[in-house]
Amino acid sequence: MIDSFKTIRTPASARITRKRSRFLAFLLPVASIEEIMEAINGLRKEHHDAVHVCSAYRLHANPEPQAGSDDDGEPSESAGGPMLQQLERAELLDVLAAVVRHFGGVKLGVGGLVRAYGDAVMAAIEAAAIVRRRLLSHIDVSYPPTLTSAVMRTIHQFGAEIERIEYDALAQAVVAVPPSRLAEFVGAMQEATGGQATVEVRA
């Protein structure tokens, strides 16, 4: 389970030419398959005169990233596969790579296509603002106010973030911890409070 991953801050693009064929590469931040399909359809409409709109994506998911690619009529594994490899090499997640090809009249062959699609995505990655996004698990902790010291000690021990805390008959705290330490944190909180704290992990 990862606590952070690399992604792009904003959309990026690049353009290369190979034997008069133009390859327009786009990198877009995405969070779901629905967003991916919407973005690809938008590119098809915008570039309706293009021969191919090939794509590859990687989405953050547990335990493994969700990934896919589409050659969109190009020879098998000559477009989407090399594009996906570039996303993997850059370790990017929650990113869609799409390459719009305008055919220039000269065939490139499978090897030429592999290099062209891969190079186009590489150029877009080089132009992108890459950032690291932290992941946090959010936890609701309810406990008798008399146990505040034990609760706070455990929170600080794990370097957790207190997002909100309210005191009433029971104290209510919303705490954020890295996913990799979630199970350990829950166990430590139960031990520190003698099982008197109610700990619920938000979905």
Stretch(es) of the chain classified as CATH 3.30.230.30: 4-133
pLDDT band at 202, cuts 50/70/90? confident
Closest CA to 158 of 134, 139, 182: 182
Place of tokens 């390459």: 99
* HEC assignment per residue over 111-164: HHHHHHHHHHHHHHHHHCCEEEEECCEEEEEEECHHHHHHHHHHHHHCCCEEEE
Q: What is the mean pLDDT of the chain?
A: 95
Rounded to whole angstroms, the Cα distance separating 52 from 83 reads: 14
pLDDT band at 136, cuts 50/70/90? very high
pTM of the model: 0.82
Token representation of residue 128: 């992108």
Query: Which pLDDT score, from 0 to 100, does residue 2 have?
Result: 85
Stretch(es) of the chain classified as CATH 3.30.70.240: 136-201
CATH-assigned architecture of domain 136-201: 2-Layer Sandwich (3.30)
The residue among 10 and 62 whose pLDDT is bigger is 10
Fold (topology level) of 4-133: Ribosomal Protein S5; domain 2 (3.30.230)
Rounded (5°) CA angle 81-21-113:
25
Kindly report, residue by residue over 80-120, the tens digit of the pLDDT.
Answer: 999 999 999 999 999 999 999 999 888 999 999 999 999 99
Give the mean pLDDT of 145-166. Answer: 94
Query: Which pLDDT score, from 0 to 100, does residue 69 have?
Result: 97
